[in-house]
Amino acid sequence: MDPTPSGRASRGVASVVRLLMLTSLGVAPLAAQTPSPFAGDPTAGRSLFLQRGCLHCHSIWGSGGTLGPDLAIVGAGRSMQQLAGMFWNHTPRMIETVRRRGVKWPTFTEEELANLISYVYYVKLFDEPGDPALGARWFREKRCVECHSVGGKGEKVGPALDQYANYIAPIMLAEGMWNHGPRMQYKQVSRGVAIPTFAGREMADIQAYIRQTSSLRGRKVRFLLPPQPAKGQQLFGAKKCVRCHGPEGRGTSYGPDLRTATLPLRVSEIAGVLWNHSFQMSSAMQARGFSFPRFEGAEMADVIAFLYYVRFNETGGNSIVGATLFESKGCTQCHSRGGEKSIGPDLSHSKAPPTSLGLATAMWNHGPAMYDRATTRKIEWPGFEKDEMRDLAEYLRDLATRAPARKAIPPVTSPPARLP
């Protein structure tokens, strides 16, 4: 199962990851997380990531192997099935490597694959720590220093910001700014200070600057619990965001669709986006007589995690497009759909597709056998882009429901409770 790592090496690697989780990411160990109804469990996925040797070739924020891309960069903004497609695309490379080393092909259950992919998705949510030198510059250039002090340096129009040095991630800073936003913005307008906006990692940089400069005594790093998207979804309703952005953040005539707003972003960037729009939002709220929602504790982190996961959980698919893909990807060269004899099994009776990752799991597990047939017959290896895997799965699902029942598809047990 596990391609080679000695216990020692995997412990080493595990501690690198744990260290990353604990120090730079500024959240408590994932184990503290309650299970969410969202697909996949990143904690379990992280263990699989170590056990199945992914770290031999891939790194997370620069720690790990260098053969494959850094997976902290690839995950964000892709739906689970898109990531499953990318994961499938590199099977030839992995099959060859695994065979060269004489180890067994790592197979996965559907739940394991969901966990693994959710981990790849999850790591991107967190930032590397910001750069304090840049933070000092933003603090000056965005004129925070004209109203706030840190470590005794700066003005006292607004409160000193030293207390935020307790945190590593900039979430609490973003939450503080959001909560005080309307009054702070009022002060800014009245003093003729332009309302600052944030781009990229600027908020993370300011956080790093506060940590470095603060005169806070007896500072103890407070780890936040890992954000919980399911709780964020509840808050999205409770804080009335749904009134304007609709359920699932799909947008209404009062507020934009949020599914694409946070696509390629990390936590501090999403926090920046929220802030950048808070002024307009607060006037939109005022105009409709809504009170301005405030956040406490880790609430903003949860809402951000929800926004981040909205895209990940997209399901559905287009069966008609899927039918075309079945031809164009060359599946028909090996699979029949009506009982004729073919190189691979008849897929009109496949048990794989009913759940969202069923197809990806079945294909991955059968990868080496498919690979051998494709190599001997010189058939091009089918790869997937964008939503192709989702559409293909939808098509095979349709096919299985329409096919004369040869054998009833057994009810799928545990995964659907967690997979949408």
Segment 311-330, which members bind ligand HEC (CB under 6 A)? 329-330
Residue 249 CB, nearest approach to ligand HEC (Å): 8
Q: Which of 54, 323, 357, 400 binds ligand HEC (CB under 6 A)?
A: 54
Tell which residue, 76, 47, 34, 43, has the closest CA to residue 309. 76
Stretch that binds ligand HEC, among 23-31, 213-221, 341-349, 406-414 (CB under 6 A): 341-349
Given the rule CB under 6 A, which of 29-37, 315-323, 355-363, 399-407 is the region that contacts ligand HEC?
A: 355-363
The least distance separating ligand HEC from the CB of residue 410, rounded to whole angstroms, comes to 13
42 lies in the site for ligand HEC, by CB under 6 A: no
**Closest approach of Cβ 27 to ligand HEC, in Å?**
20
Of 137 and 329, the one with the shorter C-beta distance to ligand HEC is 329
Q: What is the b/e burial string over 332-352, where b = at least 16 CB atoms within 10 angstroms of the residue's CB?
A: ebbbebeeeeeeeebbbbbeb
Q: Is residue 57 involved in binding ligand HEC (CB under 6 A)?
A: yes
Residue from 77, 151, 176, 251 that binds ligand HEC (CB under 6 A)?
176
**Residue 333 lies near ligand HEC (rule: CB under 6 A):** yes
Determine how many CB atoms are found less than 10 A away from the CB of residue 116: 25
**Residues 228-247: x where in contact with ligand HEC by CB under 6 A, - otherwise, as a string:** -----------xxx-xxx--
CA distance 379 to 343: 12
With binding defined as CB under 6 A, does residue 93 bind ligand HEC? yes
Give the whole-angstrom CA distance, residue 44 versus residue 51.
Answer: 11
Could you give the angle at the alpha carbon of 418 between the alpha carbons of 414 and 420, nearest 5°? 115
* Residue 373 binds to ligand HEC (criterion: CB under 6 A): yes
For the stretch 19-54, what's the b/e string if a residue is b when 16 or more beta carbons lie within 10 angstroms of its beta carbon?
ebbbeebbbeebeebeebebbbbbbbbbbbbbbbbb
Is there a contact between 48 and 109 (Cβ–Cβ < 8 Å)?
A: no
| Of the candidate residues 150, 165, 177, 267, the single one contacting ligand HEC (CB under 6 A) | 177
Applying CB under 6 A, does 63 fall inside the site for ligand HEC?
no
Judged by CB under 6 A, the number of residues near ligand HEC is 87
Candidates 116, 150, 208, 419: give the one binding ligand HEC (CB under 6 A).
116
Which residues in 374-403 contact ligand HEC (CB under 6 A)?
A: 374, 377, 379, 382, 392
Residue type, 319: S
Is residue 77 at the binding interface for ligand HEC, with CB under 6 A as the rule? no
Q: Select 25 or 323, whichever has its Cβ closest to ligand HEC.
A: 323
211 binds ligand HEC (CB under 6 A): no
Asked if residue 147 binds ligand HEC (CB under 6 A), the reply is yes
Residue 320 buriedness (CB in 10 A; 0-12 / 13-18 / 19+): exposed
Question: From CA 347, how far away is CA 254, in angstroms rounded?
Answer: 46
For ligand HEC, which residue of 47, 63, 70, 90 counts as binding (CB under 6 A)? 90
Q: CA nearest 394: which of 358, 340, 367?
A: 358
Q: Between 4 and 414, name the residue whose CB sits nearer to ligand HEC.
A: 4
Where does residue 205 rank: exposed (0-12), middle (13-18), buried (19+ CB within 10 A)? Answer: buried
